[in-house]
Amino acid sequence: MPEAWDLEADVVVVGFGAAGACAALEAAAAGAQVLVLDRFTGGGATALSGGVVYAGGGTPQQREAGVQDSVEAMTGYLSVEVGDAVTAATVRQFCAGSVEMIGWLAGHGVPFAGSLCTQKTSYPTNRHYLYYSGSELSFRHIAEPAPRGHRVVGKGTSGKVLYARLAAAVKLAGVRLVPQSRAVRLVTDDQGRVTGVECQSMRSAPRWARASHRTLSTLGRKPFLYAGGLGRRCYQPVSWLELRYARPLRVGARSGVVLAAGGFVANRAMMREHAPAFRGGLALGTPGDDGSGIQLGVMAGGATRFLDRVSCWRFITPPVAFIRGVIVDKTGRRICDESRYGAAIGEAMVLRHERRGWLLLDKPLVSASWRQLRGSTLWFQFLQAGYLLTRARVSAATLAGVGAKAGVDSAGLEATVADYNAGAAAGQPDPTGKPADVIQPIGQPPYSLIDLSVRPRPAYPAPMLTLGGLVVAEDTGQVLRADGSPISGLYAAGRTAVGLCSNSYVSGLSLADCVFSGRRAGKHALAGQPAEQEASIQPGTERHS
């Protein structure tokens, strides 16, 4: 018997962030009638983000800035970060398509610029929109470095501009948005093909309830991001409204369903189960990052990977002088190359050094840091660096003294500094791989130790983002079972899926992957249908539900 749907479209997209918007745009461009569902009003983590998109290989912005880059150099560097998250062929395809991707975004109204920030920074100021957003300079022995962080043009954190432009393009493409509708179950036919989505929707709720749900969920985003506990309390009435007024809505998908509902950093139970070491951080996302997209795919038989991979941000720049210091653990041993991307420092701290770390600076480095603050920081970076240089810092005339004050083993610290200075004087390669041009002896007292440890601290939080998700076919974005067979009619993208950043995130790689994987899923949710049905309806590979 045919299903009775409340709404129907060729392609149904669950989640309206970057991945969902890009999937919708490509599906619509392929001629599909597209419907997008969102639990709230759309935007997700994308709208809160820094709007940095990782791109290279000679983009117009790189050329405008006089930057030399090539697909080979970009592939060489990214292969190290990506590891085995996706195949080498996919990394290559992503890099080779990078210039086109930036052009595609620009064609949909997303503004980029070639104003280059030459200094290492966690995020450029409003004068700069192209920068070294990963560990490119630290891996220059592997691949020619180039600045590839393309920050969308806009004041402050510019993810809001990225989302606004994509949302406008989606509207222009005639895609139907059904907001305030939470996907709770996938509907499958008797051959196991995903044919629709069951939601709990506020569509038929009283007007005041819909307005309150919309307003509170929008106003609660920033508190949720910056003040976890307060933010969670803001969402309690939102959940109550859903519980009280949301009603079932059945949405049919004639061709395919794309899950693009973000990650699971806001789901404490999933975090405890899959990434228990990453606690005490700030959830880098919205309450929509509750893992529901991943769980929907799992319920339909999808496999997951990399759920234990979390990006934990311990940015130390600006000021750039900080990378000339050394970061030690409580035994006084160095933990990593200090010039690496902030999440590489965070990972070393969380997974190998009991979540503790201190940055050692001497007098000239502290003075240089203070000087560099003006002009190289946005407000949140200024507050963070100011906090690190004051409240989080202890000083003493000797290494033993500063170690004792901070709770770092003094003998270990003295031995580390002696080795570091001897290596610097002899011009030997650094054991952590730190580039020679950012190594200088630590020799002039007073010495300072700045506490970088991962623990709940409003002035220096540890933002965290989940990287793993549903396993997908790399040529189509179709969700795969554990045996590698595709689930008919089901696709996933963005942080709901395994993607380019699932092993290691550097700034811009998540949004770039959302564009890459969202577009792929959107194209195939309609176009890949006939071949996929033939391939998947084989005895023993289909699960009936």
Ligand X SMILES: Cc1cc2nc3c(=O)[nH]c(=O)nc-3n(C[C@H](O)[C@H](O)[C@H](O)COP(=O)(O)OP(=O)(O)OC[C@H]3O[C@@H](n4cnc5c(N)ncnc54)[C@H](O)[C@@H]3O)c2cc1C
**CA-closest candidate to residue 94, choices 147, 148, 44, 165:** 148
Within a 10 A sphere around the Cβ of 100, how many other Cβ atoms?
13
Residues 6+ apart with CB under 8 A from 285: 44, 45, 48, 225, 262, 263, 265, 266, 465
State yes or no: residue 510 binds ligand X (CB under 6 A): yes
CB atoms within 10 A of CB 443: 13
Q: Does residue 38 touch ligand X according to CB under 6 A? A: yes
What are 484's two structure tokens? 């590698």
By CB under 6 A, residue 165 contacts ligand X: no
Paired with 305 in beta bridges are 469
Neighbours of 429 (CB within 10 A): 12
Using rule CB under 6 A, residue 486 touches ligand X: no
> Shortest distance, CB of residue 59 to ligand X, whole angstroms?
16
Three-class secondary structure assignment of 406-462: HCCCHHHHHHHHHHHHHHHHHCCCCCCCCCHHHCCCCCCCCEEEEECCCCCCCCCCC
Among the listed residues 262, 319, 332, 403, the single contact to ligand X using CB under 6 A: 262
Contact stretch for ligand X (CB under 6 A) within 113-121, 172-180, 259-267, 419-427: 259-267
The closest alpha carbon to 80, from 145, 124, 130, 131, belongs to 145
* CB 301 to ligand X: min, Å: 18
Q: Segment contacting ligand X (CB under 6 A): 40-48, 202-210, 411-419, 529-537? A: 40-48
- Which residue, 101 or 442, has its beta carbon nearer to ligand X? 101
Residue 500: name the closest of 511, 492, 490 by CA: 511
Interface pick for ligand X out of 23, 35, 39, 325 (rule CB under 6 A): 39
Nearer to ligand X, 44 or 58 (CB): 44
Asked if residue 40 binds ligand X (CB under 6 A), the reply is yes
Among candidate residues 42, 75, 59, the one with its CA nearest the CA of residue 110: 59
CA distance 263 to 278: 15
Cis peptide before 248 (omega within 30 of 0): no
Kindly state the smallest distance separating residue 454's Cβ from ligand X, in Å: 17
* Residues near 379 by beta carbon (within 8 Å), at least 6 away in sequence: none
Single out the residue of 344, 330, 490 nearest to residue 411, CA to CA: 330
- 134, 297, 325, 494: which one binds ligand X (CB under 6 A): 494
Q: How far is the CB of 409 from ligand X (least distance, A)?
A: 35
Assess contact for 192 and 51: CB atoms under 8 A.
Answer: no
Q: Does residue 453 interact with ligand X by CB under 6 A?
A: no
Of the candidate spans 9-17, 59-67, 368-376, 475-483, the one that interacts with ligand X by CB under 6 A turns out to be 9-17
Q: Is 292 a binder of ligand X (CB under 6 A)?
A: yes
Q: Which of 52, 146, 408, 472 binds ligand X (CB under 6 A)?
A: 52
Whether the CB-CB separation of 345 and 357 falls below 8 Å is answered with: yes
Q: Which stretch binds ligand X (CB under 6 A): 97-105, 260-268, 344-352, 430-438?
A: 260-268
Peptide bond into 319 cis (omega under 30): yes
- Please identify, using beta-carbon distances, which residue of 167 and 449 lies nearer to ligand X: 167
**Region from 50-58, 229-237, 301-309, 326-334 binding ligand X, contact rule CB under 6 A:** 50-58
Binding to ligand X by residue 500, rule CB under 6 A? no
Size, binding site for ligand X by CB under 6 A: 42
Question: Measured at CB, which residue is nearest to ligand X?
Answer: 17
Is the CB of residue 336 less than 8 Å from the CB of residue 395?
no
Q: CA 61, 62, 64, 65 torsion: positive or negative?
A: positive
Residue with tokens 């990453």: 278
Applying CB under 6 A, among 11, 35, 42, 177 the residue interacting with ligand X is: 42
**Nearer of residues 141 and 155 to ligand X, judged by Cβ:** 155
Reduce the secondary structure of 218-230 to three states and give it as a string: HHCHHHHHHCHHH
Reduce the DSSP state of residue 496 to 3 states and report it.
Answer: helix
User: Quick check: 50 binds ligand X (CB under 6 A)?
Assistant: yes
Among 465, 471, 480, 526, binds ligand X (CB under 6 A): 465
Report in angstroms the alpha-carbon separations of 273 from 10, 268, 279, 285, 307: 36, 9, 11, 19, 9
Amino acid at 19: A
* Contacts with ligand X, 202-241, as mask; x by CB under 6 A: -----------------------x----------------
Cβ closer to ligand X: 18 or 91? Answer: 18
Judged by CB under 6 A, which stretch of 68-76, 321-329, 479-487, 504-512 contacts ligand X?
504-512
- Return the residue of 25, 216, 260, 479 that touches ligand X, per CB under 6 A: 260
Residue 45 or 310 having the CB closest to ligand X: 45
Nearest-5° Cα angle at 99, 95 to 102 = 110
Q: Closer to ligand X at the Cβ: 40 or 77?
A: 40
Tell me the C-alpha distance between 133 and 37, whole Å. 32
Identify residues 113-152 at the interface with ligand X (CB under 6 A): none
Q: How far is the CB of 287 from ligand X (least distance, A)?
A: 8
Q: Are 124 and 113 in contact (CB under 8 A)?
A: no
Q: Does 169 bind ligand X (CB under 6 A)?
A: no
Among 9, 11, 45, 65, which residue sits at the site for ligand X (rule: CB under 6 A)? 45
Tell me which of 202, 238, 266, 284 binds ligand X, using CB under 6 A.
Answer: 284
From candidates 146, 335, 514, 515, binder to ligand X by CB under 6 A: 514
Q: Does 281 bind ligand X (CB under 6 A)?
A: no
Q: Is 312 in the site for ligand X (CB under 6 A)?
A: no
Between the two ends of the chain, the Cα-to-Cα distance in Å is 15
The residues binding ligand X (CB under 6 A) are 14-20, 37-40, 42-46, 48-52, 182-183, 225, 260-262, 284-285, 288-289, 292-293, 465, 494-495, 507-511, 514
